[in-house]
Amino acid sequence: MSPDNPADAVTEVADALEEAARTGVPCAPVRSLLPAADIGAAYAVQRLHVERGITAGRRLVGRKIGLTSPAVQRQLGVDRPDFGALFADMAVPEGQPIAPGRLLQPKVEAEAALVLGADLPYRDPTVADLLRATAFALPALEIVDSRIADWDITIVDTVADNASCGLYVLGGTPVPLDRVDLRAATMSLTRNGETVSEGTGADCLGSPLTAALWLASTLAGLGDPLRAGDLVLTGALGPMARAAEGDEFTAHIEGLGTVTTAFASAATEGAAV
């Protein structure tokens, strides 16, 4: 990267990641194209991706929080979470299998999702603010994906790559927050009937509510606060699990219920989305 042309580097990285998504061929890590450890530059790539999506007619519907696990933070050498953008066309309804080739290197994690009923414009939001602003919670599966070959990523790579967003699946029964203790809620994720991940709400930055407060504060500080109607995927409640064609995943989150998704095999591709 030429240090005299940071905007050119941001465009180059965004182009490389979008080409990988379009062709289905992962690209090399992008961190060498951006200033070392410059998370700000990585978020500039992400903003360009979002702007291009909106220009193309995609609908922005919320945000996801990543790196909420202390173990994953240690792995990437960071001490904070990150966030990415959620578009409406990333949502997969339960019962509709995911087509082969739609993602490059998918992995699945179980999360608590929040849907806001009011704006959260404060840089210093309180738990009370968040509770009042949240209309309901849902169980969710985030299908993370990396456009970077072999998941060879640092914090700069994943932030630039829209926090490794892929798709997401939401359960269909809304639960008010006064009916669930998200911090204490246990989670079990199965793949083809076998348990592949377990955890609790406390494994997500201490609580999914803590993660959501971090996001609300961060976005308000950037002048782009969470708004009524926004969806927030609050972060993984346990380790992610690799996915392959033909796999079916079911997550049960105590107090929120169950959510399921399946990856179609080539033989059933005609029915997949």
Residue 231: CB partners within 8 Å, gap ≥ 6? Answer: 61, 62, 63, 86, 113, 114, 115, 116, 170
CB 157 within 8 A of CB 10: no
Number of H helices, E strands in the chain: 6, 11
Pick from 110, 130, 107: nearest CA to 118: 130
> What does the pLDDT look like over 203-251, one tens digit per residue?
999 999 999 999 999 999 999 999 999 999 999 999 999 999 999 999 9
pLDDT of residue 270: 54
Q: What is the maximum span of the chain, computed from C-alpha positions, in angstroms?
A: 54
Fold of 60-271: Fumarylacetoacetate hydrolase; domain 2 (3.90.850)
CB 231 within 8 A of CB 114: yes
Q: Phi and psi dihedrals of 236, rounded to 5?
A: -65, 140
Q: What is the rounded distance in angstroms from the CA atom of residue 30 to the CA atom of residue 21?
A: 14
Q: Angle 177-183-187 (CA atoms, 0-180°, nearest 5)? A: 100
- Taking 50 as the pLDDT cut, the residues of the chain under it are 1-3
- Characterize 209-236 residue by residue with b for buried, 16 or more Cβ atoms within 10 angstroms of its Cβ, and e for exposed: bbbbbbbbbbbbeeeebbeeebbbbbbb
Per domain, the residue ranges of the chain are 60-271
Task: Read off the amino acid at residue 61.
Answer: V
CB 139 within 8 A of CB 259: yes
> What does the pLDDT look like over 79-102, one tens digit per residue?
789 999 999 999 999 999 999 999
Place of tokens 């090399």: 28
